[in-house]
């Protein structure tokens, strides 16, 4: 969470989109910036609970594939309306799964869901597999840029995470003109992320602020 926020803050100076794949060292759950901690701790037994810098609902991170995207201001994705950037990222994910011979669909409308829980039901433009939500995301757009944080819940799919990573990158190259290069945070960006960890995301007061 801290690195994603640091990347968003640095988007103007980075000047290019950043795609980050990451995982979790232990079972956990993240919840939307505007949600109430007291409500969330009743919805899941997963711990720790961490407040995201983006909106959305509760997301379990016990076996999911997580990613983030950051776009600088002025980029075509940044200029999209929220519903359009949400749909576009899921069209990208859908196409990546198609490369792996997995047929998915995008939800045409919201389905029955449990309030506050991202993967108990679905919203319009979520990625569905056999009628269940496979991928969802949350967004935050500021003057510094656009941050999209997403989760894929592979459930019982017989696919490897690394193959999905490659399919995502290959799809962006063929349809969006992407040219990927390895990215390593420089010292100031890494230090900013550590500051956010110490002063914000690891603090009980922050995670329980609502």
Q: What is the pLDDT of residues 70-109, one digit of tens each?
A: 999 999 999 999 999 999 999 999 999 999 999 999 999 9
Give the pLDDT of the chain (210 residues) as one tens digit per residue: 999 999 999 999 999 999 999 999 999 999 999 999 999 999 999 999 999 999 999 999 999 999 999 999 999 999 999 999 999 999 999 999 999 999 999 999 988 666 668 888 899 999 999 999 999 999 999 999 999 999 999 988 999 999 999 999 999 999 999 999 999 999 999 999 999 999 999 999 999 998
Q: In what order do the strands lie in the sheet containing 18-22?
A: 18-22, 65-71, 145-152, 132-142, 127-129, 105-106
The superfamily in CATH containing domain 2-207 is Bira Bifunctional Protein; Domain 2 (3.30.930.10)
Rounded Cα–Cα distance for residues 111 and 126 (Å): 10
Catalytic residue among 118, 156, 169, 173: 118
Residues in the chain: 210
118 tagged catalytic: yes
What are the residue boundaries of the structural domains of the chain, listed by start?
A: 2-207
What would the two tokens of residue 206 be? 């922050």
Per-residue pLDDT of 157-173, as tens digits, reads 999 999 999 999 999 99
Rounded Cα–Cα distance for residues 43 and 34 (Å): 16
Residue 115 pLDDT:
66
């Amino acid at each position: 969470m801290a690195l994603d926020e640091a990347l968003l803050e640095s988007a103007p100076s980075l000047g290019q989109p950043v795609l980050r794949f990451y995982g979790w060292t232990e079972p956990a759950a993240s919840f939307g910036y505007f949600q109430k901690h007291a409500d969330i701790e009743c919805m899941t037994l997963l711990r720790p609970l961490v407040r995201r810098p983006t909106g959305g609902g509760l997301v379990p991170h016990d076996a999911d594939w997580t990613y983030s995207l950051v776009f600088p201001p002025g980029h075509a994705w940044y200029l999209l309306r929220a519903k359009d950037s949400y749909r576009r990222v899921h069209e990208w994910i859908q196409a990546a799964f198609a490369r792996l011979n997995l047929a998915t669909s995008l939800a045409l409308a919201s389905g029955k869901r449990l309030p506050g829980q991202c993967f108990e039901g679905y919203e319009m433009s979520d990625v569905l597999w056999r009628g269940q939500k496979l991928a969802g995301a949350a967004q935050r757009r500021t003057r510094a840029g656009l941050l999209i944080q997403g989760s894929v819940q592979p459930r019982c799919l017989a696919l490897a995470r690394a193959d999905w990573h490659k399919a995502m990158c290959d799809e962006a190259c063929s349809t969006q003109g992407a040219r990927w290069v390895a990215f390593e945070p420089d010292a100031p960006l890494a230090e900013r992320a550590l500051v956010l960890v110490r002063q914000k995301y690891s603090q009980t007061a922050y995670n329980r602020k609502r």
